[in-house]
Amino acid sequence: MDMPAPEPLRRNSTAGSDALFARALKVMPGGSTRAASFFDPHPPYAAGGAGARITDVDGNVYLDFSNNFFSQIHGHAHPEIVAAIIGQVKSGTSFPLPTETEVLLAEEICGRSPALEAIRFANSGTEGVMAAIKAARAFTGRPAIAKIEGAYHGSYDHVEISLDGAPANWGTAGAPARIAYARGTPDAVVADTVVVPFDDAEACRRILEANADRLAAVLLDVQPSRVGMIPASQAFVDTLRTVTRELGILLIVDEVVTYRLSYGGAHPLWDLQPDLVALGKVIGGGMPIGAVAGRRDVMSVFDSRGRKPDVAQGGTFTANPLTMIAGLTALRLLDRAAIARINALGDRLRAGIAAQAAACGVPVQVTGLGSFFRIHLTDAPITGYRSAFPSDETKRRVATLHRTLLDQGFLVTPNVSGTLSTPMTDADIDAFIQAIGQILPTL
């Protein structure tokens, strides 16, 4: 039964976080080691977390909708995951040998979707995406990939293209420009990353056909958060699948974020048969993880039995038993009922915010399927990266909403998106909806 939510605490002090940031500035560029989670003037420093709440070093408590960027699906310090990790710590944290836990987690994930015939683990979603791309190159003998304009897939060079285009440089909608994010990105990387617009099936077909002989894979996130956290249409996904098959291009579905959408991941919701899937976040139970999974014949590029593999994949801490046992415990807790419950909480949150916005006459849209949400401060239709691109004035209002929520004890990502975790209650969601309703007219 749902318990009433404790009153969210208003932030009383930031003195402890301010002092830590001042020290951090002396030893880290910009005082941070993580670009995505930084916001001005600086984030609060976490002291600990329990369930759906985080306490910072000043004693402020936040209801956590960021969930470490969509990964902590069971919130913080879930007792069963903690017990599993402690049990493993006592008998070793990593070995130069495989363990049974790695086999168990592989069986668990492959058992949830027939499309995932085999899997290899990595330490981050970035590494999972990188391994998928290398596998596709090795399997097809082609060098290039295609990705969706604006979509984020981690910090591997070839996917850091067209992340942050703006009207001045993004080119035409039907043929988006290839824009390197990092200064100094080699021209060869840009040349081998083709960019396609989100949800425009005909433009996509045209661009893929024009580049077919060089393309190893298309990288698709079916609900890319930076593209507005809108779901891809069935027609777009179907066209991509058909065209990639026709042209001998592999389809890699990046489910690092969206795996939580259903028991088998995101692809079953679109009835999609991917060649490869990149995974991360929730499958690690709060520990660092990534993975590539999919067709057995494609995955065999990693097989090193009696030969040099086509792609050497793995690292010192790959499939370490701490991550494996945390992930296994988290996924066993994430049964169909748990997913249905947080997806229903998501429906409650989206409908509640829409009702508050309507009541106060502020234009707002809440996108996201299942346990995801992103709040857009506009009523203009959002169909892709360009329509989700905020004006300077909207950016300012989004930053104010983010900061005001933080001051009132609610942690969301800087673009005001989030996910729900299994410890959350109806009362938690209602408290958030109410806070949004109070803040919206003040923006």
Ligand X SMILES: Cc1ncc(COP(=O)(O)O)c(C=O)c1O
Residues labelled catalytic: 152, 254, 281
Q: How far is the CB of 403 from ligand X (least distance, A)?
A: 22
Name the residue nearer to ligand X (CB basis): 124 or 329: 124
Per-residue string for binding with ligand X, 202-241, x by CB under 6 A? -------------------x--------------------
Taking a C-beta distance cutoff of 8 angstroms, is the pair 319, 102 a contact?
Answer: yes
Q: Applying CB under 6 A, which of residues 81, 106, 129, 195 lies at the interface with ligand X?
A: 129
Q: Using CB under 6 A, which residues numbered 146 to 185 contact ligand X?
A: 152-154
- Indicate whether 346 belongs to the interface with ligand X (CB under 6 A): no
Q: Using CB under 6 A, which residues numbered 289 to 318 contact ligand X?
A: 290
- Indicate whether 259 belongs to the interface with ligand X (CB under 6 A): no
Per-residue string for binding with ligand X, 355-394, x by CB under 6 A? ----------------------------------------
- Indicate whether 124 belongs to the interface with ligand X (CB under 6 A): yes
- Indicate whether 280 belongs to the interface with ligand X (CB under 6 A): yes
Name the residue nearer to ligand X (CB basis): 216 or 291: 291
Backbone angles phi, psi at 389, to 5 degrees: -65, 120
CA distance linking residue 325 with residue 319, whole number of Å: 10
- Indicate whether 254 belongs to the interface with ligand X (CB under 6 A): yes
Q: How far is the CB of 408 from ligand X (least distance, A)?
A: 26
> Binding segment for ligand X among 125-133, 183-191, 228-236, 418-426 (CB under 6 A)?
125-133
Name the residue nearer to ligand X (CB basis): 352 or 370: 370
Q: How far is the CB of 153 from ligand X (least distance, A)?
A: 4
CA distance linking residue 207 with residue 203, whole number of Å: 6
Measuring CA to CA, how many Å separate 137 from each of 146, 154, 224? Answer: 12, 18, 23
Measuring CA to CA, how many Å separate 26 from each of 29, 31, 45, 57, 271? Answer: 8, 7, 16, 19, 51
Name the residue nearer to ligand X (CB basis): 21 or 152: 152
CA distance linking residue 37 with residue 281, whole number of Å: 15
Taking a C-beta distance cutoff of 8 angstroms, is the pair 76, 50 a contact?
Answer: yes
Q: Applying CB under 6 A, which of residues 256, 342, 362, 401 lies at the interface with ligand X?
A: 256
Name the residue nearer to ligand X (CB basis): 56 or 127: 127
Burial letters for 68-83: b for 16+ Cβ neighbours within 10 Å, e otherwise? bbbbbbbbbebeebee
Q: Tokens for 31, please give them.
A: 């005082």
Name the residue nearer to ligand X (CB basis): 124 or 140: 124
- Indicate whether 417 belongs to the interface with ligand X (CB under 6 A): no
Name the residue nearer to ligand X (CB basis): 154 or 423: 154
- Indicate whether 125 belongs to the interface with ligand X (CB under 6 A): yes
Per-residue string for binding with ligand X, 66-85, x by CB under 6 A? ---x----------------
Q: Residues touching ligand X: how many (CB under 6 A)?
A: 14
- Indicate whether 199 belongs to the interface with ligand X (CB under 6 A): no
- Indicate whether 276 belongs to the interface with ligand X (CB under 6 A): no
Name the residue nearer to ligand X (CB basis): 74 or 281: 281
Q: How far is the CB of 359 from ligand X (least distance, A)?
A: 33
Binding site for ligand X (CB under 6 A): 69, 124-126, 129, 152-154, 221, 254, 256-257, 280, 290
